[in-house]
Structures are given as structure tokens and as C-alpha cells.
Chains A and B, each alone.
Chain A
Amino acid sequence: MKEQLQKDFKNIIKNLNLSQKDIEIKKFSLDNFIEKGFPNRKEEDWRFSDLNQIIKKNIGELSFYCDYASTNKVDTSVFVDGLEHNKIVFINGRIEKIDFDYEKKNQIEIIDQSETINRFSNNNSLSDLNNAFTNKCFKILVKKGYQLSKPLIIYHTFNSKIWSKNINLRLDFELNQDSSLRVIDLFNEASEKNFLNIFYNFDLKENAILKNYKVDKLQNKNVKYSFNNIDQDKNSISETFILSSGSNFSKNEINCNLRGVHASAFVNGVFSLNNDKHHEIRTIINHLTENTKSYQLIKSVLEQSSKAVYQGKIFVDPQAQKTDGYQLSKAILLNEESEFNAKPELEIYADDVKCSHGSASGSLNDNSIFYLMSRGLSYQQSRELLINGFLLDVVEKITDPEVKNLIKNMIGIKE
């Protein structure tokens, strides 16, 4: 892999016009990655999902070179109908389009910041990989007091030209005081067997509101890793919803730092898996100051030999008195081959806190099925009704009505 990395790296550098400083930074990251390699099960964070093995099994040999120089045609048919929205379109990892047509132009700034390196606090080699190979890093800055009228949809699309590629993306968002932003990540993947490595950084200033919906619904054979870092100032709110379903492997990490008083974070997730898919959500909520709140709800429905993992951690700093932290994960195993692993973790250093977590896993309740069947439903109908109800609980937590409907339609939940 080492030769492949170095060769592809040279090709990329050749095709891009980078400053000397930029090349040095990228080289440094590359060396770090070569030293560490892909994370494996020996690392505590990856003990349930050995990425090294997963890439070997699902993809085989990866190549890291992406042709960033030539443009790709934007296929408008993938765009969401019936919902007016702003767009960022990635095709094969290259930004083809950024448009904020519905917004006031002077309120949003798009800054090219390829020269600044991002230091993500996730301590794994994937951030090095990302730093070494990302093409361009844009920062989207929402100015003070501006609330975007329409949601922003980020399309992650591919054309059939690429396979067995590593694709690295990075975006930075800064939400200034009293601003708000809704971001929807949509994965439409026609390609096969690529490894996506996505890093987002959100910086929320006072009273800012961020809503991020990650929707991975369409069946595809990709391996995906996504990392969200969210820094929150006073009174800010972040809401993250994850629908984890389509990819062969997917790991979503949320690292949230509640730095200002009365900041709150909500993470809700749904795993709906079949075949031999293997998905994971890992959250770390750091309560760093007084009166902060976090709430997490993760539900899984597992069919065939699929596997879901939830690792959630609530950290409470000695300063963070009056913290309110809650975490619940529930799983229904529908097949004897399916598997659910959980590691709900509390690390608490302050005494005046209210923190709790719960985790439950098991099969569908026979009594409930019996109840519904005795009222005339077939077994299949009763089962669907129960599963829909189980998942609807999480979808209902979405606070944005437009997006809630969009997602309900995608999952096929009827009310």
C-alpha cells in the first residue's frame, strides 16, 4: 500500500497548483498516515469494526489518485424534487457546484482555505489521510444574524468512471451569532466499491442553530467514514440525525464540544440494515461547562446477517455542573445471524449532574404481534406496523417539518 500511496500522491501534487507550504503540510500528513495505516481492531474505538479488514474484504486494493483537473457533468436528475434548496454537488470527490440561489449573497461567504490544515481531535489516521489527499477545502461562513431560508443539500454523487478509489472530502462551516443552517447530506452512488472519507467541522457561535441530516438510503457497495466535529458556544443548538442504511459499511462519528453555557446537542440515529451490512455510530459529547444538555436516541432494526454498533460517550468535565445527559439505544434483531453491539459510556467528574443511559436489544415482542394478528392483520402486516412504529419514534424527533416529511417518504413510513 505504501508504494501506491506515494505514487498516487506524486500524481496529485503534479496536477494541482499548490503552494510549497501546502505541499509540505500534505506530505507531513501522508507520512503520518503511512506510519499508522488504516485503523484496526487493536484500537479501542475500532474494536467492533476493523476498518483495515473491511476495506480488504469489500474493496481489495485501493487507489488514492483522483482526477481533480477535469470537470464532470452535473446530472440534474438526482436533485430532490418538491423541496426548494441550496446545493453543493460533489462528483467523484470534486466540488462541481456550489449554489446558494435562494439566499442573500452578501450574507454567505465561501472561502477557499486549502492552505490551513485541520486538526481534528479524533486521533485516528483517517484525518491524516484526509489532509493528505483532499482537493480543496471550502469554508462556508454564515454571517451574524442570517438564517438561511432554504436547506442546503450536499449531494455526494459519483459517475460510473471510478471504482476502488479512496475519496476524501472536507468542509468547514462557521455559523456566526444568531444564524442558522440546515444541512442535508444525500448519498446517491451509482459507482461501486469506493472508500469515502468525509470530515466536517462546524463552529457554532452564540445562539446559532445547526441541523444536520445525514441520509444514506440507496443501496450501494461503498465503504464510508464520516466525522463531524461540532464546537458550540453559548445557547447554541445542534441537531444531528443519521439514517444509516444503504452502504456496505458505514461509520458515523459525532464529536461535540459544548463549550458555552446552555448549549445543547441532540443526536438521533436509525439503523435499518439487511444482508451483511455493518454500520456503526460513535458519539462523543463533551460537556465542558455548566448547564449544558445532550440527548441521544439510536434505534436499530437488523435483518439477515447485518451488524450494528453503537458507541456513545458522555464526558462531563469537573466544571460542567448541572449537566443533563441522556442516551438510549434500542435494537430489534430479526434474524438469528444479526448482531448488535453497544458501548454506552459515561465519564463523569462533576457531582451535580443528571446522566443516564439505557440500552436494550432483543426480538420483536410476541405479545404485540399476537395482539395485532388477533385484530385481523397478517403476520407480515403486524411486523411492519411494529417496526414502523419503532423507527418512527426517532424520525419524529426531527424538528424541521419539511425535512421530516422528506425523510419519512424516503424510508417509506406512513402515518
Chain B
Amino acid sequence: MDKRQKEIDNLKDYKYGFSTDIENIKAPKGLNEEVIKFISKIKKEPEWMLNFRLKAFERFKLLKEPDWQKPKYPKIDYQDLYYYSAPKSMKDKPKSLDELDPKLLETYKKLGIPLQEQARLNGIAVDAVFDSVSVATTFREELTKHGIIFCPISEAIQKHPELVKKYLGSVIPTTDHFFATLNSAVFTDGSFAYIPEGVRCPMELSTYFRINASNTGQFERTLIIADKGSYVSYLEGCTAPMRDENQLHAANVELIALDDAEIKYSTVQNWYPGDKDGKGGIYNFVTKRGLCKGKNSKISWTQVETGSAITWKYPSCILKGDNSVGEFYSIAITNNHQKADTGTKMIHLGKNTKSKIISKGISAGFSDMTYRGLVDISSKANNSTNYTQCDSLLMGNKCGAHTVPYIRNKNSESNIAHEATTSKISEEQLHYCQQRGLNPEEAVGLIVNGFCKEVLQQLPMEFAVEAQKLVGISLEGSVG
């Protein structure tokens, strides 16, 4: 108990809220063709990449910012942002970790992600992204042995242009919605992974995103390709310093699974959520989409969303290949003045496709939480099934929990089942726990963990422990 209490005390305030004092190179403020050319140039990109960006930017100029979502936010001035910021020491890419700026190493150590490989015993390959650049990728040699490519996307553009050219923008086209198109125009860095045919990736791949510089938007882009019969499990974590202003994070993530391949994508999102009065925090407007391109392929999204002032994302699966499977497991927790509008889209195109959605939402304080999802079974997707369950838990009477599912069934051989409930923690459950000696906070922690269990058990081991703690901490102070 004492240990746990200490842990909680340690974590009660957002412990990742520090910022690293480091010299930065920034692109000039504002959004225009010059800035895009600047980003492209500093990344030493080939011409086709620059054209890709400019094409997206042309499109972006025609688009209007969407406003149909529940969480409203003050208008973002896109000309008042820096679109590129990188530590100066990263200008000439260090060849090994030994050459990396000690300040950066220190930052990641503080975040609990020591980059020196000798310190890593748990065997997860990490790509660390700091503002607009990837600073280090670990375990590369080991991965190369299996033919796996795991590197920053800027490097992949130079070294594996054939793969990037073929797949980049194939799931999220440059003509997609406002934020996705913005990302296509100005994305800076992110991870790239390619798992060759028949390879089962021997370790978890992971990216750690860190926003450090102020007044900067982070636009990362991740592309994962699982070739025939391969398997990969990918983790994503994120944090940001505490600042009074709101920062924009608009990432694009594309997954492609070919025949018999499986991709498991787990996120623990813990961006700075703003202070108790809702000041500051990250706007997390992310586009994540997976394409089950081949037969028997599978994509599984798992997310634990505890951070960000506003979360607005719908990790989706396009089930194109016959017999493909899409899964979505989500826990979203909002406290204080946080707002979340999240869910998924399952688009069934192939025959015998299956999808499963389990969403657990918990809102406390003054927060607002929305599950918004789409299940669409097309007329050709014979014998497909979907099962959806979304449960919401409310703590206190100042918060809101909403469910907005869209269900479209155009195929008579397919079945869709949807269930949703909203309730609060029952007095009986609380009474039962307290009677057996738990204090109210512990009792709530226990009940909430039970509520989330179905999703937590989908996470890889190391993440699950972390996530469980995070769930407890995010709700700290919301009882009583």
C-alpha cells in the first residue's frame, strides 16, 4: 500500500511535464510552400516526395476545417505555428548512440526510455522521435538479420524509395480530410517498418513521440507494411511538457497487411492533458487507418487514451481481403476539462470478414467523452459479422458520456450486433469493496480496472502494467 501510495504521489502531477532546454533549428513560422520546401530540403528528400507534399498542400488550401465533432476548440491559427523544429545537434545525423547529444539521452532516460542498448533488457526496439526528427532507433542490427526494416521514415524515403512510393498515401490519400492532408503536406518524421514475407518479428517495435519545443505542431507519419505471412506487434507512446498554450499534434498512421499477415498496433497516449482548469494541453487530432489488403490478414488496434486536452481520432480498418479480421480495443479516460471524441470505423468489403469493437469510456470531473463509430457492411461482403460493445462509466454529475454509432448493413447474409450501456459505479459494488477494508479510492480503482480488463489484456505485457497504473492515476481525485 505504501509503495502504491508513493507511486501515486509521484505521478499525481503529470510527471512527464518537464521540458528539455536544447538548441533548436526551426523552420520559419507559418504555413506556405517555402516552409514545405524547407522541410523537404532539410530532410534531403528526392523530388517525388516534395511533389507529394506540394500536391497535398494544393488540396489543403481548398479544404475547410471540420466542425461536426463534439469537442469544440478555439480556432487554430495555422500561420502562427512552427512546422519544423529539431535539436541543433541532430543537423548532422549522429552515426551511433555514443555520438548522440547527452541532453537527449538524459531526456529519454527521464521518460523511462533509456536508449543505450546495454540498458535495455526487455528487448523492445525503439524509434525515438523528438519534435520533428527521429533521434535514435535501437536494435537495428538484430532486426536487419531477419530482413526487417525499422527506421525513421525520412531515412526510408532515401533508402527504400520503392516501398515508400508504393505504399505512402495508399491508405490515407493526400486528398483525405483536413488534418490528414495537412499532415501529408508538412509531416516531419515518424517510423517506417517493413516485415518481409513469412517473418515473425522477434521483438516488439516501438515508437516514442515527444513534443518538446513550444509553439510547434508535431506532424509525424508512420507507415507499417506486413508482407505475406508476417507478424508484427507495434507500440506507440507519447508525452509532452506542461505548457500553458495548446499544441497541435496531427499524425497519420498507415498500416498495410498483405495475405495472411497480422499487425497489432498498441497505443498508450499520455500527452499533457492541460491543468485542472483546462488550461494548456495537446490537441491530438490523429488519423490512423489500416488496410487488410490480402486474404486472411488481420489488423488489431488497441489504445489507452488518457492524455491530451482534446482527443479526436478514429483508428479504422478497411477489410478488403476475404476472411480478413479487424479489431479495436479502446479505453478512453477523461478527467478535469479533457475532451475525447474517439472510436473506430470498420469497413467490410471482402467476403467472410469479421470485426470486433470493444470500447470502454470513463469520464470524470468536467470532462466530455464521445464514442463515435461506423460499421459498414457493403453489399459484396457476404457472410461478414461485426460485434460492437461500448460501455461508458460516469463519475460525478458535471461530466458527459455520449455514444454515436453509425450502423450500415447492406448485406442480408451478414450480421451486426451492437450494444451500449452507460452507468455509474453502483453503490452496492462500492459498499461491498469498502466493507472488505478498501478505502473508496482503492475500491474505485479496483472496479475501474475490472471494467477495463477486456481491453487491458489485449496489451503487450510491459504496456499492460503501465496502462493499469495510468488508469488509476488519471482518475485520481475524481472520487468523493
Q: How far is the CA of A251 from the CA of B401 in the complex (A)?
A: 28
**Chain B count of residues within 8 A CB distance of the other chain:** 34
Please name all residues of chain A whose beta carbon is closer than 8 Å to the beta carbon of B412 when the two chains form the complex: 333-336, 338, 362-363
Interface: B19 (CB within 8 A): no
Contact of B403 among A333, A334, A339, A357 (CB under 8 A): A357
Q: Contact check, A357 vs B420: say whether CB atoms are below 8 A apart.
A: yes
Least distance between A299 CB and chain B CB atoms (Å): 14
Q: Mark A324-354, 1 if CB is under 8 A from B, else 0.
A: 0000000101111111111111111111111
Instruction: Of the listed stretches B31-39, B285-293, B388-396, name the one at the interface; the rest are far from the partner chain.
Output: B388-396
Contact of A356 among B407, B414, B421 (CB under 8 A): B421
Chain A residue nearest to B388 in the complex (CB): A359
Q: Contact check, B406 vs A343: say whether CB atoms are below 8 A apart.
A: yes
Q: How far is the CA of A183 from the CA of B33 in the complex (A)?
A: 66
8 A Cβ contacts from B372-418 to A: 379, 392, 394-418
Q: How far is the CA of A6 from the CA of B399 in the complex (A)?
A: 49
Q: Contact check, B399 vs A356: say whether CB atoms are below 8 A apart.
A: no
Interface: B159 (CB within 8 A): no
Contact of A346 among B379, B402, B407 (CB under 8 A): B402
Contact of B395 among A338, A340, A351 (CB under 8 A): A351
Q: Mark B421-433, 1 if CB is under 8 A from A, else 0.
A: 1111000000000
Interface: A321 (CB within 8 A): yes
Given A336-B412, A361-B407, A362-B414: A350 and B397 interface contact (C-beta under 8 Å): yes
Please name all residues of chain A whose beta carbon is closer than 8 Å to the beta carbon of B394 when the two chains form the complex: 348, 350-351, 353
**Chain A count of residues within 8 A CB distance of the other chain:** 35
Q: How far is the CA of A341 from the CA of B375 in the complex (A)?
A: 10
Please name all residues of chain A whose beta carbon is closer than 8 Å to the beta carbon of B406 when the two chains form the complex: 341-343
8 A Cβ contacts from B273-325 to A: none
Between A44, A346, A349, the greatest number of chain B beta carbons within 10 A of the residue's beta carbon is seen for: A346
Q: Contact check, A351 vs B424: say whether CB atoms are below 8 A apart.
A: yes
Q: How far is the CA of A318 from the CA of B414 in the complex (A)?
A: 39
Given A348-B392, A360-B415, A360-B418: A343 and B423 interface contact (C-beta under 8 Å): no
Contact of A344 among B405, B408, B424 (CB under 8 A): B405
Q: How far is the CA of A340 from the CA of B416 in the complex (A)?
A: 10
Q: How far is the CA of A357 from the CA of B419 in the complex (A)?
A: 6
Chain A residue nearest to B370 in the complex (CB): A347
Q: Contact check, A333 vs B411: say whether CB atoms are below 8 A apart.
A: yes
Please name all residues of chain B whose beta carbon is closer than 8 Å to the beta carbon of A345 when the two chains form the complex: 402-405
Q: Contact check, B419 vs A356: say whether CB atoms are below 8 A apart.
A: yes
Chain B residue nearest to A346 in the complex (CB): B403
Please name all residues of chain A whose beta carbon is closer than 8 Å to the beta carbon of B404 when the two chains form the complex: 343, 345-346
Q: Contact check, B397 vs A341: say whether CB atoms are below 8 A apart.
A: no
Q: How far is the CA of A354 from the CA of B423 in the complex (A)?
A: 5
Q: Contact check, A352 vs B424: say whether CB atoms are below 8 A apart.
A: yes
Please name all residues of chain A whose beta carbon is closer than 8 Å to the beta carbon of B405 when the two chains form the complex: 342-345, 359
Q: Chain A interface mostly helix, strand, loop or mixed?
A: strand
Q: Mark A28-64, 1 if CB is under 8 A from B, else 0.
A: 0000000000000000100000000000000000000
Q: Contact check, A361 vs B421: say whether CB atoms are below 8 A apart.
A: no
Interface: A358 (CB within 8 A): yes
Least distance between B136 CB and chain A CB atoms (Å): 45
Please name all residues of chain A whose beta carbon is closer than 8 Å to the beta carbon of B411 when the two chains form the complex: 333, 336
Contact of A348 among B400, B417, B419 (CB under 8 A): B400
Interface: A162 (CB within 8 A): no
Chain B residue nearest to A360 in the complex (CB): B417
Contact of B400 among A343, A349, A352, A362 (CB under 8 A): A349
Interface: A413 (CB within 8 A): no
Chain A residue nearest to B385 in the complex (CB): A362
Q: Contact check, A346 vs B420: say whether CB atoms are below 8 A apart.
A: yes
Interface: A355 (CB within 8 A): yes
Q: Contact check, A341 vs B400: say whether CB atoms are below 8 A apart.
A: no
Q: How far is the CA of A361 from the CA of B392 in the complex (A)?
A: 23
Q: Contact check, A348 vs B422: say whether CB atoms are below 8 A apart.
A: yes
Q: Contact check, B415 vs A362: say whether CB atoms are below 8 A apart.
A: yes
Chain B residue nearest to A342 in the complex (CB): B407
Q: Contact check, B409 vs A358: say whether CB atoms are below 8 A apart.
A: no
Q: How far is the CA of A282 from the CA of B421 in the complex (A)?
A: 20
8 A Cβ contacts from A141-173 to B: none
Contact of A336 among B379, B403, B416, B423 (CB under 8 A): B379
Least distance between A347 CB and chain B CB atoms (Å): 5
Q: Mark B321-347, 1 if CB is under 8 A from A, else 0.
A: 000000000000000000000000000
Chain A residue nearest to B389 in the complex (CB): A358
Least distance between B133 CB and chain A CB atoms (Å): 41
Chain B residue nearest to A353 in the complex (CB): B422
Q: How far is the CA of A363 from the CA of B418 in the complex (A)?
A: 16
Between B412, B415, B417, the greatest number of chain A beta carbons within 10 A of the residue's beta carbon is seen for: B412
Q: How far is the CA of A360 from the CA of B397 in the complex (A)?
A: 31
Chain B residue nearest to A307 in the complex (CB): B410
Chain B residue nearest to A350 in the complex (CB): B397
Between B401, B415, B424, the greatest number of chain A beta carbons within 10 A of the residue's beta carbon is seen for: B401
Q: How far is the CA of A191 from the CA of B422 in the complex (A)?
A: 47
Q: How far is the CA of A334 from the CA of B413 in the complex (A)?
A: 9
**Complex A-B: 26 CB contacts under 8 Å:** A44-B68, A318-B397, A321-B397, A336-B412, A338-B412, A339-B408, A339-B409, A343-B404, A344-B405, A344-B407, A345-B402, A346-B422, A350-B397, A351-B394, A351-B395, A351-B399, A352-B424, A356-B419, A356-B421, A356-B422, A358-B420, A360-B417, A361-B407, A361-B415, A363-B414, A363-B415
| 8 closest Cβ pairs, A-B complex | A362-B415, A333-B412, A351-B394, A359-B418, A346-B403, A342-B407, A356-B421, A349-B400
